[in-house]
Structure 1
Amino acid sequence: MNKTRKRLTLLTTTALLTALAILIPQVMPKIVIPPASFTLASHVPIMIAMLISPLAAVVVSLGSALGFLISGLPIEITFRAATHVIFALIGATFLWRHKSYTHGVKFQIFNVVIALIHTLAEVAIVYLLLTVGFSHLAGRNLGSLLLILSIGGFVHSLIDFNIALFLARAINKVYPLDIFKDELEK
């Protein structure tokens, strides 16, 4: 694939993943326990983008935050979505340098570390919003809110990244993006 075609393919793929990231908060089933919301597959486009490049991951993360903003969910949930840029950039940068972490046990270790970063960023922003009184939830039981958010968010992240990896592998077989370049060369 020539350089121009490859760039166009990456741009198109990033645009499609961004569109999905904006659409998912509007249409997918969700459980909302403010400040937590667990939207089915909401991280999947971001996590697929992490397998492509750091720039794709950041763009798709910003699209996801926009999707949550226009979804009508409480503002804390939009702020949580905005923190996805952090784990997406860290994870994508690591994967960009260490492609072997998209396989087996290494992937699951990576997934746990990324889920921890993801969860800590979300808990930190919610804690900040609640403690400065910006949130309409200020004054509620902070400990239980953060417990629901942290445990639920951690599990949600783990599940979504496994779904993302499965889908990325399936897509890559029919629409090669060099995501799993070493697999294609075998």
Structure 2
Amino acid sequence: MNKNRKQLTQLTTAALLTALAILIPQVMPKIVIPPASFTLASHVPIMIGMLISPLVAVIVALGSTLGFLISGLPIEITFRALTHVIFALGGSIFLWKHRNYTHGVKFQIFNIVIALIHTLCEVAIVAFLLTTGFSNLNGRSLTSLFIVLGIGGFIHSIIDFNIAMFLMQAINKVYPFEILKEKPTLTLNKTTQK
């Protein structure tokens, strides 16, 4: 594929994923316990973007933030969405340097690490908002809130990345993605000399 076509394909894919990331908070089912919320498949476009390029991952994460901002959900949820830039960029850079983590057990290990980073960033921003007085608990205990955010966010992240990878592998059969290509194995042709 020539360079211009590849760039156009990435731009188009980034635009489609960003549109989905903006739309998902508006239309998908969600459980909201402010400042926690769990929106079905909300991370999937970001995680697909991570498999395309670090730039696409960041663009889609910012689009998702916009989607949560205009969804009418509490502003703390928008700040949590903004932290997705951190795990999306870091995770995408890692995957592009270590492509063997896009398959099998190594992918699940990567998924768990990304879910931990994702959850810690969200808990950190909520803690910051609560301690600075920007947000309040409205009678909820800080500990129970962090348990909901921590455990719920961790599970949500793992499920969404598995959905993203399932979709990418299905699409990969029709339109191969560079990051999912198997690395060529070195084979030696042995010739016998007489």
1:22 alignment partner AA: I
Q: Tell me if structure 1 keeps the 8 A contact 2:101–2:107.
A: yes
Counterpart residue number, 1:32: 32
Q: Tell me if structure 2 keeps the 8 A contact 1:31–1:38.
A: yes
| Structure number with higher helix proportion | 1
| CA distance in 2 between partners of 1:56 and 1:96 (Å) | 13
2:175 alignment partner AA: Y
Q: Which moved more, 1:112-121 or 1:173-182?
A: 173-182
| CA distance in 2 between partners of 1:43 and 1:76 (Å) | 17
Query: If the length of structure 1 is used for normalisation, what is the TM-score?
Result: 0.96
Q: 1:16 and 2:41 equivalent? A: no
| CA distance in 2 between partners of 1:132 and 1:139 (Å) | 17
2:32 alignment partner AA: V
Q: 1:105 and 2:105 equivalent? A: yes
Counterpart residue number, 2:133: 133
SS of residue matched to 1:140:
coil
Task: Tell me which stretches of 4 or more aligned residues in structure 1 moved more than 4 Å.
Answer: none
1:136 offset after TM fit, Å? 3.9
Counterpart residue number, 1:182: 182
1:2 offset after TM fit, Å? 1.0
Q: CA RMSD in A?
A: 1.4
Gaps of 5+ in 2: 186-194
1:66-121 residue CA offsets vs partner (Å, 9 max, x unmatched)? 00000000001000000000000110000010111011110000000000000000
1:132 offset after TM fit, Å? 0.9
1:173 offset after TM fit, Å? 1.4
| CA distance in 1 between partners of 2:93 and 2:86 (Å) | 11
1:12 offset after TM fit, Å? 0.5
SS of residue matched to 2:42:
coil
* 1:87-166 alignment runs, 5 A limit: 87-137=87-137, 140-166=140-166
Q: Tell me if structure 2 keeps the 8 A contact 1:130–1:138.
A: no
| CA distance in 1 between partners of 2:97 and 2:153 (Å) | 26
1:172 offset after TM fit, Å? 1.7
Q: Tell me if structure 2 keeps the 8 A contact 1:172–1:179.
A: no
Instruction: Give the length in aligned residue pairs.
Output: 185
1:48 offset after TM fit, Å? 0.4
| CA distance in 1 between partners of 2:66 and 2:115 (Å) | 21
Q: Which structure has the bigger radius of gyration?
A: 2
Gaps of 5+ in 1: none
1:138 offset after TM fit, Å? 6.1
Q: Tell me if structure 1 keeps the 8 A contact 2:19–2:63.
A: yes
Counterpart residue number, 1:48: 48
Q: Tell me if structure 2 keeps the 8 A contact 1:36–1:148.
A: yes
1:147 offset after TM fit, Å? 0.8
1:19-54 residue CA offsets vs partner (Å, 9 max, x unmatched)? 000000000000001111000000000000001111
Counterpart residue number, 1:171: 171
